[in-house]
Structure 1
Amino acid sequence: MNINLRHFPGDPDRPAIGLHCMMGSGGLFEPLMQHLDGAIDLRAPDFPGHGRSDDWVPPADDIDLHTFATRYAAGMIDRPMDLIGHSFGATVALRIAVGAPDAIRSLTLVEPVLFAAASRESNRAEYERLASFEAADDWDGMLQQFLGDWGAAGPIPTEGAKADRLRRQMKMVVDTNDGLMSDRGNILREGGLEGINAPVMLISGQDSPPIVHEIAEALAARLPDVGRATIPDAGHMLPLSHPKQFAELTLMNLERA
C-alpha cells in the first residue's frame, strides 16, 4: 500500500509529524507551516484512502485503520519528536504518546475525537447521529450530516470519482468512530495519559460540536503538563480557517518543550 508523505521543510533539528483528520490529507498542515516560518521540519503522511495515498485495504493481519496509522507514524520516529494532530490524527498522536512517552517532545492536539473520553450519553448521541443513515444504506445522507456537523469545506459532490471516494471514506469514518467510541486502542487505560511527560496543548474551536469540549476537559484532567485554548469563532476545521491562531498556539507549545 503506497502512503504519500508530504514534507514541509524547516529546522532540521526540530523534526515533527503532522497527523490529519478523517476525510482530510497531510496538506491540512500547509497553512500552519506558512505561519510557523520554519520553526519545525514537518512530515505529514496521507492516511490510506486519503490525499494521494492508495485506497485503504486492510492488511493480512486485519488491523484497523487507527492501528495502521499509529504503527506507521510511530515508525517515523527515530528521536523525540513534536507531534501535531487534528481530530482523528490527534487520537493517533495520543495513542503513540501513551505507548511510548519518551518518543514525544511535545503534543499539539486539535480536537482529538476520542469519544470514549466523553460521557456515555454524549457518546451514544454521537453514535445515533449517523446510525440511521447506516441502517438505511444512505451514504450520501450520512456525508451531508457528517460534513455538516464537522465543517465541510465547500459543496459536497454527489457524482464522479470524488464523490465515490468520499463515500468510501465515510465507511472508514464509521469504522474508526466505532473504535474511538469503545477506545479500541486502550488510550484511556489507567496510568496511560498520566505517563505523558511532554507538554500538551489542547486546542478547540468555540463553535465546534459540544462533545469536543467535553473530551478536552476529560483529557486535560489526566494530563500532567497541559494547556487548553479555545479559538473564538472557529469550528472543527480551524487548522484551515484560523491558521494564524493555530500557529501561535502551536509555537507556544513548541517553546515549552
Structure 2
Amino acid sequence: MDVAVLPQPVFTRDLGGGARRALAIHCTLAHSGAWRGLAAALEGQVHLAGFDLLSHGNSPDWDGQGDIQERHVAIAETLLTEPMDVIGHSFGGTVALRLAARHPDLVRSLTLIEPVYFAFALRDAPDLLARHEADAAPFAELLARGDFAMGARIFNAMWGGDAGPGWEALPERARAGMIRSIPLVPASRRALYDDPAGIAAPGGLDRVTMPVLLLRGSDSHPVVAAINAAIAARLADVRNEVVEGAGHMLPITHPEQVAAHLRDLLARAGA
C-alpha cells in the first residue's frame, strides 16, 4: 500500500486488474475496501485506485482544519495523475462531482452513486429535502448532544442498513470505526447544504461535459432520486439509472449490477 504525500497523509489502495484506471471515492463510515466487490466484478477491465477518507479506515483523523469536502477534493487531486474514470459514492460522490468540475480534462467519465449533495434538492425539490430532514432529526439531535455512539448507530441504520447485519451483530472494531468517523457528518453539512463551491448554482456544472452515470437504489430515501434528477437536469451527456431492489449501499450489495452500468458508461466514454 502507498501513502499519498499531503499535510495529512491518507491510506491508499489498489484493487482489480485492468489497463483502464479509475479513481474510486467511498462513502462516509466506510473505507476504500468497500470497493472490493465492484473491483472483482470489473476484474480484467478496470484498475481501481482508492483512498480512505480522513477519520476513516487507515487514514488519520481529520485535523479539523478547512472545509472537509474541499480537503478531500485536494486529496483526490493528488491521485488524479492522468485521465481517469472517477467513481464516487454518497459523500464520495460529492467529492467526485467537484473534482470533475475542477478538472474536466482529467476525468474521462464520472459515476455518481447516490451523491448526497443536498443543495441540489434544496433548489429543485425542497419538499423532499424537508422530509429527509424530518426523518434525520433523531440523528441530528443525538450529535448535538455529543452522543456519537448512538448517532453512529442511527446513521448506519438510515444509510447503511441494507449492507449487512444490524449494529449489535457488527464486530466491535467496525462499530468503533463508525463512531470515530461520525463527526465528519456534521462537519460536511455546510458544503453539502450551503454549497459554498457553487456547484448547484446556475452554471456550476458547465465544465462537466464528460459522459456521466447517475445511479441509485430503488429502495433509497426519496431525496436521493430528487438529487440525482437535479444533477442530471444540469448535464448534457448523462444517464440517470436505478438498480431495482437496492438501497443506499448498492456498490456493496449489488456490485454486479453496478458493474454492468459502469461497463456501458466506459463504452460511451471510449479509451
- Considering the TM-score relative to the shorter chain, is it more than 0.5? yes
Return the alpha-carbon distance in structure 1 between the equivalents of residues 256 and 240 of structure 2.
17
How far is 1:43 from its partner?
Answer: 0.5
Change (3 A) 1:228 1:179: same
2:141 alignment partner in structure 1: 132
| In the alignment, structure 1 residue 101 sits paired with structure 2 residue 101 | no
Deviations 1:125-177 (A, max 9, x none): 44452332233333233223211111233232599665444223111112113
Return the alpha-carbon distance in structure 2 between the equivalents of residues 200 and 67 of structure 1.
21
2:248 alignment partner in structure 1: 236
| In the alignment, structure 1 residue 168 sits paired with structure 2 residue 180 | yes
| In the alignment, structure 1 residue 253 sits paired with structure 2 residue 259 | no
How does 1:16-165 map onto structure 2 within 5 Å? 16-58=22-64, 62-118=65-121, 119-128=125-134, 129=136, 130-152=139-161, 153-156=164-167, 162-165=174-177
Q: Which runs of 4+ in 1 moved over 6 A?
A: none
Return the alpha-carbon distance in structure 1 between the equivalents of residues 39 and 80 of structure 2.
20
The 3-state SS of whatever aligns with 1:235 is coil
How far is 1:205 from its partner?
Answer: 0.2
Return the alpha-carbon distance in structure 1 between the equivalents of residues 128 and 191 of structure 2.
16
Q: Unpaired segments of 5 or more residues in structure 1?
A: none
Change (3 A) 1:92 1:172: same
How far is 1:64 from its partner?
Answer: 2.2
Equivalenced residue count is: 253
For the aligned residue pairs, the C-alpha RMSD in angstroms reads 2.0
Return the alpha-carbon distance in structure 2 between the equivalents of residues 135 and 45 of structure 1.
29
Q: Unpaired segments of 5 or more residues in structure 2?
A: 1-7
2:220 to 208, 223, 238: 208
Change (3 A) 1:232 1:133: same
2:4 alignment partner in structure 1: none
In the alignment, is the contact (CA less than 8 A) between 1:123 and 1:181 conserved in 2?
A: no
The 3-state SS of whatever aligns with 1:217 is helix
Return the alpha-carbon distance in structure 2 between the equivalents of residues 159 and 108 of structure 1.
31
Deviations 1:197-248 (A, max 9, x none): 1100001000011110000010010111000111111000011111110110
Return the alpha-carbon distance in structure 2 between the equivalents of residues 90 and 242 of structure 1.
17
Change (3 A) 1:139 1:108: same
Change (3 A) 1:159 1:57: farther
Return the alpha-carbon distance in structure 2 between the equivalents of residues 84 and 231 of structure 1.
16
Q: 184-193 or 14-23, which moves further after superposition?
A: 184-193
How far is 1:184 from its partner?
Answer: 3.0
In the alignment, is the contact (CA less than 8 A) between 1:116 and 1:123 conserved in 2?
A: no
Return the alpha-carbon distance in structure 2 between the equivalents of residues 64 and 160 of structure 1.
30
Return the alpha-carbon distance in structure 2 between the equivalents of residues 186 and 113 of structure 1.
15
Return the TM-score normalized by structure 2. 0.86
1:227 alignment partner in structure 2: 239
| In the alignment, structure 1 residue 6 sits paired with structure 2 residue 10 | no
